[in-house]
């Protein structure tokens, strides 16, 4: 399976995918990093790993659709089977959602549908919930909506701080995202009536 990862910032999730592939735990080929911030740290991580990078500046375009058309050309040229949004901080339009329906996933640092959008860990912390977590879901054009594939719950303890919680959430993301990519690559995830179903052996 040929994947493209989209990211906007640090790229710790991107790195977790790279590490899983390099360790032989994840049998996919990372063909491309797509990044909307040419200076982002994730770009350096990709270069170090020898992965091709496509960067663009949204402000150079008239619309979201316009830059997504350019991205789509890149994806088609590389025969990408699966798009992984890993900290890509932009909404996706039908230019990409339609051709990649059921072939685009996102990781989000909360138990969706609670706390969509930015600063999800902070939102959960401020709300005082006792359980939060991580979600990997298919992308449907809404903000952090789309059929949920997998979730990992995390208990918030009395001794936690926002920093300790943030660390635990990221650690779980780094486990769950490569795991879900592996399940998709192995053909174990199906979309049935707009629900993601995992077929275990």
Question: Smallest distance from the beta carbon of 151 to ligand GRF, in angstroms?
Answer: 13
Question: Smallest distance from the beta carbon of 19 to ligand GRF, in angstroms?
Answer: 12
Contact range with ligand GRF by CB under 6 A, out of 12-20, 23-31, 124-132, 150-158? 12-20
Question: Smallest distance from the beta carbon of 176 to ligand GRF, in angstroms?
Answer: 10
Under the criterion CB under 6 A, does residue 116 sit at the interface with ligand GRF? no
Question: Smallest distance from the beta carbon of 169 to ligand GRF, in angstroms?
Answer: 7
Alpha carbons 57 and 152: distance in angstroms, whole number: 34
Under the criterion CB under 6 A, does residue 12 sit at the interface with ligand GRF? yes
Q: Is 189 exposed, middle or buried (0-12, 13-18, 19+ CB in 10 A)?
A: buried
Closest listed residue to residue 87, CA positions, set 154, 15, 190, 185: 15
Q: Is-catalytic flag, 170?
A: no
Under the criterion CB under 6 A, does residue 108 sit at the interface with ligand GRF? yes
Alpha carbons 128 and 16: distance in angstroms, whole number: 29
Contact range with ligand GRF by CB under 6 A, out of 4-12, 47-55, 63-71, 183-191? 4-12
Alpha carbons 11 and 15: distance in angstroms, whole number: 6
Of residues 28 and 120, the one with the C-beta less far from ligand GRF? 120
Handedness of CA 106, 108, 112, 113 (dihedral sign): negative
List of long-range contacts for 38-43, beta carbons under 8 Å, 24+ apart: 40/7, 40/8, 40/9, 40/10, 40/11, 41/9, 41/10, 41/11, 42/7, 42/8, 42/9, 42/10, 42/11, 42/14, 42/87, 43/11
Instruction: Give residue for tokens 């994840």.
Output: 26
Q: How many residues bind ligand GRF (CB under 6 A)?
A: 13
Q: Indicate which single residue of 20, 26, 82, 87 sits in contact with ligand GRF (rule: CB under 6 A).
A: 87
Contact range with ligand GRF by CB under 6 A, out of 30-38, 66-74, 104-112, 180-188? 104-112
Site for ligand GRF in 155-174 (CB under 6 A): 173
Of residues 9 and 182, the one with the C-beta less far from ligand GRF? 9
Tokens, residue 143: 């903000």
What amino acid positions are annotated as catalytic residues? Answer: 108
Under the rule (CB under 6 A), what is the footprint of ligand GRF?
7, 9-14, 86-87, 107-109, 173
């Amino acid at each position: 399976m040929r994947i493209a990862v989209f990211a906007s910032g640090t790229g710790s999730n991107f790195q977790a995918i790279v590490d899983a592939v390099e360790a032989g735990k994840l049998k996919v080929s990372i063909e491309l990093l797509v990044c909307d911030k040419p200076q982002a740290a994730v770009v350096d991580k990709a270069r170090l790993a020898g992965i091709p990078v496509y960067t663009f500046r949204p402000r150079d375009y008239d619309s979201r659709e316009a830059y997504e058309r350019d991205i789509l050309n890149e994806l088609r040229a590389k025969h990408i089977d699966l798009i992984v949004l890993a900290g890509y901080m932009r909404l996706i339009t039908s230019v990409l959602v339609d051709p990649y329906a059921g072939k685009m996933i996102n990781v989000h640092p909360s138990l969706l549908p609670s706390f969509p959008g930015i600063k999800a860990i902070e939102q959960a912390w401020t709300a005082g919930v006792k359980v939060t977590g991580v979600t990997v879901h298919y992308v449907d054009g809404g903000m952090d909506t789309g059929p949920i594939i997998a979730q990992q719950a995390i208990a918030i303890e009395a001794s936690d701080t926002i920093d300790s919680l943030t660390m635990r959430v990221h650690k779980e993301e780094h486990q769950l995202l490569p795991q879900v990519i592996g399940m998709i690559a192995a053909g174990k995830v199906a979309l049935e009536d707009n629900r993601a179903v995992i077929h275990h052996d």
